[in-house]
Structure 1
Amino acid sequence: QPLSHTSRRRPPSTPQCTSGIIEPGQTLYVNGKIKVPTYAAPTVYQRYIKVTVSYPTGDTKTYYMPLSYTVYTTLSSPFTSKYLTSGYRYFREPYTFDKIKGHNDWGWRYEAGDWRVFYVDITTPDIWTFEVQAKWSDLYTSLITYTLGPDGEFAGLYYGESVSYHYYIGAGRFLWMNTGIGRTPISRSVKTFPTTTYRYGLYPQSEPVKQRLGVYTVIVRTATFGGSRLPEKFSVEVKPIRRGKLLPNTPQGTTGEVSTYLRIPYPVTSLTPMVGFSPYPYFTYQGMCTDANISPTSYQGNYRANYPFRFRLEWENVCGPDYRDDISVVYAAEIPYLTVYYRYGGTYYQYTDYYPFEDWVITAGPYFTWWIFGGPE
C-alpha cells in the first residue's frame, strides 16, 4: 500500500513539487494521500515519509517521519458476513495480521500474549448484534476476543457478549478454553455476541440515542500458544444478526408498556430476561424512580434457531418527567450447541453454555436533567 505524497510551499498558488528550497523562517507543507487497495485487511498500518535535506554546507541528511493509520471494513447489511483476516499482507509490515506467535511481553501480567486488532464499521440499525468468531489450528492454542464499541466502551458488560469466556490463573497464565460444537469439546474456536444496544454497567452516550452505530474494534489475543516455532495462522469472522423488534430507539414517557421480540440464530433450551438499571453515571436517579417488569419471565423447552421470543416490558417512573431512568433488559440464553469447555490435566470439562443478549430503553427526562445534585454530566 504505497503512500504517495507531494509537497509545496506557500502561497497556495505555488505549483506542487517533490522538492523545494526553504529559506530561514519558512515552512514546507507536505500533502499526503493514502491509497488503500480493496484487498487490505481492516487493521492498523505503519508507514513513514522519507525526507532528504541538503544543507548550504553541503551536508545531506535523511529523516523518517513515522505515521500510522487504520483501515476498516463495513457491515451495511444484516445478511452479509466479513472475514477480517482475508486481506493481503504487505511484505514490509512489522507483523502479520493473520498469524500469531508465542512471544509474550509482560509475561507476568494479564496482558501477556500476542495481540491483533481489527475494525468494523456498522452502518445500519438493522444489525442489532453480531457474532464474532476466532478460529485457530493448533490443539494447544487458545484465543480470547474482545469487542469495543464506537465510544471505546466494551460492547456489552458480560462474558459471551463483548469478551469471550476465559479464566485467568495469574502470572500471565490462562486455562485453555474454546467454544465446542454441541457436546464435542474441541472446535479450536471462540464465539461472542457483541451488541449495538449495550448499556448495563456502562455509561450512555451524551445524546439520547441508544443504538451505537460506527466503527467497532475487534481484538484477538493469545491465552495459550501451542509451542510451534512457526507463526500460527488464525481467522476472524463477523456475522451480523438481524434485529427482531427491539425496544424503542427514542426516549419514552414516564409510564409505558411496549412489546418486543428477538431471534437467536442457534437452538435455545432456555431464555430468561433480566430487568435492571445501570449504576452509571454515578449520582443520578438510575433505578431510584422506576418500577419495571417484563413478561413472560422465561422460556423453557427446545426452541429452533431463529424462534421469535416475545416479551412485554412495563414501567412507571414515579419521579416525573425531569428524571431519566434507563431500563436495561439482558436476555440470558442457554445454547447447548455453543457449550464452552476448558481443559485441565488432559481432561475436558463443561464451563457454561449461557450467552447474554442485551437491549435497553430510555424513559422520562432528557439526558442533562437527571443528576441528583443538578447540572450536566
Structure 2
Amino acid sequence: MSLVLGIETSCDETGAGLVADGVLLGDGLASSADEHARFGGVVPEVAARAHVSAVVPMVRMAVERAGVSLSDVDAVAVTAGPGLSPALHVGVAAAKAYATALGVPLHGVHHLAGHAAVDVLEHGPLPERCVALIVSGGHTSLLSMGDLARDPVVHLGDTVDDAAGEAFDKVARLLGLPYPGGPAISKAALEGDPHAVAFPRPMTGPRDAPFGFSFSGLKTAVARHVEATHDAGRALAVPDVAASFQQAVVDVLVRKAVRACREQESDTLLMVGGVAANRALREGMETACAGAGITLRVPVPRLCTDNGAMIAALGDLLVRADVPPAGLASTAVPSVELTGALVPVPQPV
C-alpha cells in the first residue's frame, strides 16, 4: 500500500491531501477567496502569493491529521493544469521540491480528472463506464469515462462560452451579491420563487448540440431583466431573480445529463465540481436520476470544491495502476484539455 501526497493550487484554494489505497487519511485546505472578494473575482498574482504562504502549512496539516510522517510518503501528485498560470507554478514547484527531498515519483495530473477521482474516496471504484458531468467555475462538460488511470476521456459536449460557475459569479455581481457568486445566489434563492421570472433554457432547442452548453445568454437575460426593472422604477426582487436564474441552470444541466446517460446506455451519472455542491442542483439531479433509473454519484459538498484530497485520490489511482510518472519533467500547462488523468509534458519545438 502506497501513501500518496496530493497538492492543489489551480485557483484560490491551497489544498493538500494524503490517500492510501482509496482511503483519505488526512487533508488541509486554505482559501484566499476573501482576498479576492473586493475585486469581484480571482486575481492570479494574489492567488499565487497566497499559495506560497499556505502550501507548506497545508501539507503539514494533512500529515498531522493523517497521523503519519512526511517520510512515509511514497509518491506525490500535483495539479499541473488547467488553472491560473502563476498559481499552478507554485504548486508544481512545491511538489517537485517534496518529490526530490523524499526521493519519490511525481505525477503532474489534470485538475478535472481529480474532481472525478475524489468520488472514489466516498463511493468506491467507478463502474467500467459512466457519464460524468463536470460543473465548476471554469468548466462545464459532459464526458464518457472508463478507468480514470488508464483510459482516455471522451468529450460528449462542452460549454461554448461561460461555464455554469462563471455565470453564477457574473449574475451575483448583477444582483449586488458578494463573491463567490455560487453560495451567495444559492442562499438568496432560498427566499425566492424559482418560477417568478421566465429566463431562457439555453441550448435546449431541437437544432442545438444535444450535450453542449452556453450560459452567456442566460447571464445577459438576467442583466436585461435587472436593467428593465430599474428603468421602470421598481424594486428588484433579488431572491426571485436568484431563484429563477438558478432554476434555469439546473434545468439545463439535469436535462442534458439524463439524456447523455440514456444515449450512452449508462446507468451511472457522476456529477462533480464546485457547482455540484449547489443544493438545488443536487436535489434536481437526484429526482431526475431516480425517475430515470440512473445511479447518481456526487461527492460530499466539501469535496466538490477544489481540494488536495482529489489530487491525492487521482495520484493513488495512478500509482495502483503502475502508470509511469513524468517526474521532474512535469510542468504547469494552464490551458490543457482534458484527455486523461495526466497532463502531457510539452515537447520542445
The answer to whether TM tops 0.5 is no
Q: Which has the higher contact order (CA 8 A, sep 6+)?
A: 2
TM-score by length of 1: 0.26
Q: Which has the larger radius of gyration?
A: 1
TM-score by length of 2: 0.27
Select the structure that is richer in strand. Answer: 1
